[in-house]
């Protein structure tokens, strides 16, 4: 038995390319609702870890836990959250209606505030590794100030 | 004018202590709904970063981005997610109804699977820093296998 070479019709090939391009585009451009869910999820994870660090500072200090918690905040801060604020996500509902204000998408100052957040979160990891609760408390205050700076101007009041 | 020293009645003092103890307890024991939201948020953030690494492997590879994305997954994996699976959270609704199966809260094997996840995620960070896409692809496969191992047995089908 002689095997016939497999031949792809130009039409089939064109379809395959289109389908594959479509799949790639779908992968590269999730729906606004999904993007908003992801950004809300990122801030929820940050909030959980901020709360745990606060509990450690207010109660009995757990050095190893605080290092891990600070690591999460810093890793998320540096992970390019801006990719979740694409055009089309200015309004809409993820897990809940977005509280992002329109100015968040236009003000040049946002990049600066975002940089402050990344920097202070990284510094918290460094200080947490030192293990001095008083120093961690001080740096934790600097970090949460960067959260507040952005929320004050760019998050709608509840 | 002579200032009268401020005197705290025992009743007021007792109330203050109770309120403050209540506040501490509230901080230490968030509601099941909040715990479930946090755990769903953690997995959403993991999924977002897994998707971004996959896109990098399928498209044009971005070494620095993959390092950051792997860092988030690893930091979350090592952050003590078990704290979000306390008694009372076996069923319930966070952002959506929990898909955790009852066995997740009882099987001893879960700790082992969880350890596999933490280990492979940490290894992905190491490999990502090396910057070889083929090696990252291989390690990424090992990591997602640990996700699947847990989902197969401990997450309800949709």
Contact B139, B124 (CB under 8 A): yes
pLDDT in tens, chain A (158 residues): 455 544 444 454 454 444 444 455 445 689 999 999 999 999 999 999 999 999 999 999 999 999 999 999 999 999 999 999 999 999 999 999 999 999 999 999 999 999 999 999 999 999 999 999 999 999 999 999 999 999 999 999 98
Those residues whose C-beta lies under 8 Å from the C-beta of residue A37, and which sit 6 or more positions away, are A94, A95, B44, B95
* CA A81 – CA B63 distance, rounded (Å): 17
Q: Count of residues for chain B?
A: 158
Give backbone dihedrals phi and psi of B155, rounded to 5 degrees, phi first.
-120, 130
Q: What does the alpha-carbon distance between residue B53 and residue B120 come to, in Å, rounded to a whole number?
A: 15
Distance from CA of B113 to the nearest CA of A (A): 20
Enumerate the β-bridge partners of residue B100: B155
CB atoms within 10 A of CB B75: 26
Rounded Cα distance, B115 and B153, in Å: 16
Which of B24, B41, B74 shows the shortest C-beta gap to A44? Answer: B41
pTM of the model: 0.84
What pairs with residue A93 in β-bridges? A97
Residues of chain B with Cβ-Cβ distance to A75 below 8 Å are 68, 71-72, 74-76
Here the ipTM equals 0.84
**Phi and psi angles of residue B97, each rounded to the nearest 5 degrees, phi first:** -60, 140
A41 touches chain B (CB under 8 A): yes
Distance from CA of B46 to the nearest CA of A (A): 10
pLDDT digits (tens, 9 = 90+) for B105-140: 999 999 999 999 999 999 999 999 999 999 999 999
Contact A127, A135 (CB under 8 A): yes
Q: How far apart are CA B84 and CA B88, in angstroms?
A: 10
Structure tokens at A13: 């090939």
């Amino acid at each position: 038995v002689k095997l016939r070479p497999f031949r792809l019709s130009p039409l089939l090939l064109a379809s395959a390319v289109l389908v594959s391009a479509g799949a790639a585009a779908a992968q590269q451009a999730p729906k606004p609702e999904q993007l908003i869910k992801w950004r809300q999820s990122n801030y929820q994870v940050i909030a959980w870890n901020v709360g745990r660090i606060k509990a450690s500072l207010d109660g009995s200090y757990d050095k190893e836990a605080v290092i891990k918690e600070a690591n999460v905040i810093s890793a998320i801060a540096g992970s390019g959250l801006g990719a979740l604020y694409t055009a089309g996500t200015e309004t809409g509902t993820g897990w809940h209606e977005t509280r992002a204000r329109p100015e968040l998408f236009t003000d040049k100052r946002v990049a600066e505030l975002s940089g402050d957040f990344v920097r202070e979160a990284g510094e918290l990891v460094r200080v947490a590794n030192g293990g001095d609760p008083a120093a961690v408390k001080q740096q934790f205050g600097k970090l949460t100030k960067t959260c507040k700076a952005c929320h004050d101007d760019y998050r709608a009041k509840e």
